[in-house]
Chains A and B, each alone.
Chain A
Amino acid sequence: MSRAIIREDVIPMPNRYRTLLEIPVAMALVMLVVVSTANAYWISTFTSALALALAARGIGVLYGLLGLVSLCQFALIGIGGWMMLRLSHGTGLPFEINVLIAGVTAAGVGVVWGAPALRLKGLYLALVTLMLAGAYQVVISATGFPDGGAGFLGRADATQRLMLERPVIATSNSSYLVYCAIWATGGFMLAEWLRVTKMGRSWAMIRKDDNTARSVGVNLLTYKIIAFAFAGFLAGVGGALLAGGVGQLDGRAFAASESLFLFALSVVAGVYHWYGALIAGLLLRAVPSLLTDFEINGYVAIIFYGSALMHALITAPRGIAGQISNLIGKIRTIAIPGTGRQAL
């Protein structure tokens, strides 16, 4: 062994940034296939799926990296959507600025809602955040989303309702899908970059154990707050893009149960890989659409979600993305011996 002699050879740092390059390439390929093959209905479905995928990535950060269960992320999508609609109807700010402000607003709310996580974990945190999602459901059902009216709430009467205008570079459905894909790619890359840097290492330490994290100098308060803010930001951006895709939002679509579905499907899809979020978004939006295509009631999707969650928890805790990752690892090992599963 190496007891008395210490060799000063510097070990090369593991290549952590490979995934950062994989994300835009994979997203570009997916978009190329979708835009060239999908009809208007499926283009719209994929647009919504991308918006939800951003929120799912936030769940990936909170649950996959820190081990924190937050069941209010769909409500944060709603907050981002509300802010986007309010700003777009009430100000002349560019679409992109509004998206960012919507993200920052949801981040702020995410921090406030995540505050219990500084004391709570596991089931208790899950319950508290679910209740917050329930509170949002009550409020948004009563107030609705802004639709061009005056005042703080921006509510108009039925004859005057305005649709949100899309950015000038993405007015068609296909171009708006690509536009959303660019935002989603940016969000995924940002999350991945955080994962492989000091932030991600600190989050991993917190997931292991609070005292383990403290023993290497991690400030639990700071790093948990940053995680909730980032997850909220992604959800808010997702909500803003969702609003842009549909033109209006319906308060009834933001029930607390949607946050549960989003979390469950994020687990099914895989919270430990960036493309797990993409799969989660697709599961949440594409499965009901697929059932509709086959003239089956879309609510049957709930049975599918429950079965998939049970299957994931029992046989594939790293989700669909984990299974894909393992498959890629095996193919790599066969194709290029010595390059199996590597630390990222």
Chain B
Amino acid sequence: MIHIENLTVQFGAVKPLDNLNVTLDARICGLIGPNGAGKTTLLNVLSGFITPVSGRIDVDGTDLLSLSPIQRVGLGLRRSFQTEQVVEDLSVYDNVLSLLDHVGVRGEEAAGQVSRALHFAGLAGIASQLGGELNLYQRRMLEIARALVGGPRIVLFDEPGAGMTENEGQTLRETLLAIPDEFGPQVLLIDHDVDLISATCEKTLVLDFGQYLTYGPTASVLADDIVRKAYLGME
């Protein structure tokens, strides 16, 4: 569970996040909002890449903001990026192993975890291929696999479905839905695909210009008039 209190991020006169208060308690939480709403900024704050000017983030009793980005990885924080970040010169296997290198998992235990994640993501058959040889779908799935090793507690996905075909999107939905049961972490998902959000997220947080708009069960959030007007562009 992620508890966010009075969180403000400020760059000069701009406030990408403005006094955000919310408790993200669903196993899979959606995060939506128009461009510039502060979605990725929130993920970057959670990852430790951006330091807020004020506020507190509590993850299962741990003060997240007191930890360095590396310590957060040790705590079990994982993430993917809007622009996929597969390393082209590393094999699929080593792309996943690169995370375990830094959380103290080695040898047979590491091999087991990498194998499990690659089987889960449907990449077991191409484990020895180079990252540079993968198509976009495989790269996205590889990022998911990398986020699922080393005992993940919170997984942040930033538009994992971007650029996928309908069939690939369907597989992605099934994959995301299975993550909490199979690997145990809470998932925070940003995506502009409302169908993906409604099919996978139990609850959804809506941001607008860095401010909290609403948070609740996804179906009711998406039916909310304010959300429909602010985000979906419907009157």
Tell me the A residues contacting B by CB distance below 8 Å: 1-4, 6-11, 13-14, 16, 198, 201-202, 204-205, 207-209, 211-212, 214-219, 272, 341-343
Main secondary structure of the interface of A (DSSP, over half): loop
| Interface residue range, chain B | 35 or more
Contacts A214-B70, A218-B102: A343 and B94 contacting too (C-beta < 8 A)?
yes
With a cutoff of 8 Å between Cβ atoms, the chain A residues found around residue B73 in the complex are: 214-217
For residue A219, give the distance in angstroms from its CB to the closest CB of chain B: 6
CA distance A217 to B91 in the complex (A): 19
When distances are taken between beta carbons in the complex, the residues of chain A under 8 Å from B130 are 341, 343
Inside 8 A of B69's CB, which chain A residues have their CB? 214-215
Q: A209-B85, A214-B49 are in contact. Are A4 and B178 (CB under 8 A)?
A: yes
* Besides the known contacts A204-B90, A208-B87, 11 further A-B residue pairs in the complex with CB atoms under 8 A apart: A1-B175, A2-B121, A8-B119, A205-B98, A211-B49, A212-B81, A214-B47, A215-B79, A217-B73, A217-B102, A218-B98
Q: Which of A198, A201, A205, A342 has the most CB of B within 10 A?
A: A201
**What separation, in Å, do the CA atoms of A1 and B124 have in the docked complex?**
11
Q: Report whether B85 and A198 are in contact in the complex, using a CB–CB cutoff of 8 Å.
A: no
Q: Which A residues lie within 8 Å of B89 (CB)?
A: 204, 272
Q: Given A11-B114, A204-B87, do A216 and B102 touch, yes or no (CB 8 Å)?
A: yes
Contact A343 B112 (CB under 8 A): no
B93: CB under 8 A from chain A? yes
Q: Which residues of B contact A343 (CB under 8 A)?
A: 90-94, 128-130
Q: Distance (Å) between the CB of B164 and the closest chain A CB?
A: 13
Q: List 29 A-B contacts (CB under 8 A).
A: A3-B177, A3-B178, A4-B178, A6-B116, A6-B120, A8-B112, A9-B115, A10-B112, A10-B115, A11-B93, A201-B97, A202-B98, A202-B101, A205-B87, A205-B98, A208-B87, A212-B87, A214-B70, A215-B69, A215-B73, A215-B78, A215-B79, A215-B85, A216-B146, A217-B73, A217-B102, A218-B102, A343-B93, A343-B128
Which residue on chain A has the smallest CB distance to residue B49? A211
Given contacts A216-B146, A342-B128, contact A198 B101 (CB under 8 A): yes
* Chain B residue nearest to A216 in the complex (CB): B99
Q: Which residues of B contact A16 (CB under 8 A)?
A: 94
Q: Are B79 and A204 in contact, CB atoms less than 8 angstroms apart? A: no
User: Shortest beta-carbon distance, B177 to chain A, in Å?
Assistant: 8
B115-A2 in contact (CB<8A): no
Say yes or no: B94 contacts A3, CB within 8 Å.
no
- B34 CB within 8 Å of chain A: no
Which A residues are in CB contact (< 8 Å) with B174? 1, 3
Measured between C-beta atoms, what is the minimum distance from A339 to chain B in Å? 11
Q: Which residue of A lies closest to B119 (CB)?
A: A7
B50-75 interface (Cβ within 8 A of A): 69-70, 73-74
Q: Is the CB of B81 within 8 A of A14?
A: no
Most A CB within 10 A of own CB, among B108, B128, B130: B128
Give min CB distance, A289 to chain B, whole Å: 34
Any A CB within 8 A of the CB of B30: no
**In the assembled complex, which residues on chain B have CB atoms less than 8 Å from the CB atom of A202?**
98, 101-102
Contact A11 B48 (CB under 8 A): no
Give the residue name and chain of the B residue nearest to A16 (CB): B94
Please measure, in the bound complex, the distance between the C-alpha atom of A14 and the C-alpha atom of B129, giving whole angstroms.
9
Candidate in A16, A216, A219, A343 with the most chain B CB atoms within 10 angstroms: A216
Most buried by B among A1, A208, A217: A217
| A6–B175 CA distance with the chains assembled, in angstroms | 11
A211 vs B158: C-alpha distance when bound (angstroms): 14
B174 CB to nearest chain A CB (Å): 4
Judge whether B70 and A204 touch: CB under 8 Å: no
**Is B193 among interface residues, defined by CB-CB distance under 8 A?**
no
> Contact check: which of B87, B103, B114, B177 meets A217 at CB < 8 Å?
B103
CA A7 to CA B117, docked complex, whole Å: 10
Question: Taking the nearest CB of chain B, how far is it from the CB of A14, in angstroms?
Answer: 5
CA distance A16 to B121 in the complex (A): 23
Taking CB as reference atom, which chain B residue is nearest A15?
A: B128
Residue of B nearest to A206 (CB): B87
Q: B85 contacts A11, CB within 8 Å?
A: no
- What residues on A are CB-neighbors of B90 within 8 Å? 201, 204, 343
Per the bound structure, the CA–CA distance linking A158 and B111 in Å amounts to 64
Q: Is A13 in contact with B93, judged by CB distance below 8 angstroms? A: yes
Q: Are B124 and A204 within 8 A (Cβ)?
A: no
Distance A143 CA – B68 CA, assembled complex (angstroms): 46
B169 interfacial contact with A, CB 8 Å: no
**Most A CB within 10 A of own CB, among B87, B99, B108, B118:** B87
The 8 closest A-B pairs by CB, nearest first: A217-B102, A343-B91, A217-B73, A212-B85, A216-B99, A198-B101, A201-B98, A3-B174
Q: Which chain A residues border B182 with CB–CB below 8 Å? A: 6
Q: Report B-chain residues with C-beta under 8 Å of the C-beta of A214.
A: 47-49, 69-70, 73
Tell me if B171 counts as interface (CB < 8 A to partner A): yes
Complex Cα–Cα for A4 and B102 (A): 28
State which of B49, B93, B120 has its C-beta within 8 Å of the C-beta of A14: B93
Are the CB atoms of B101 and A2 closer together than 8 Å? no
CA distance A14 to B98 in the complex (A): 14
Taking the closest CB of chain A, its distance from the CB of B187, in whole angstroms, is: 15
In the complex, what residues of A have CB within 8 A of residue B111's CB? Answer: 10-11, 13
Nearest CB of chain A from residue B7's CB, rounded to whole Å: 20
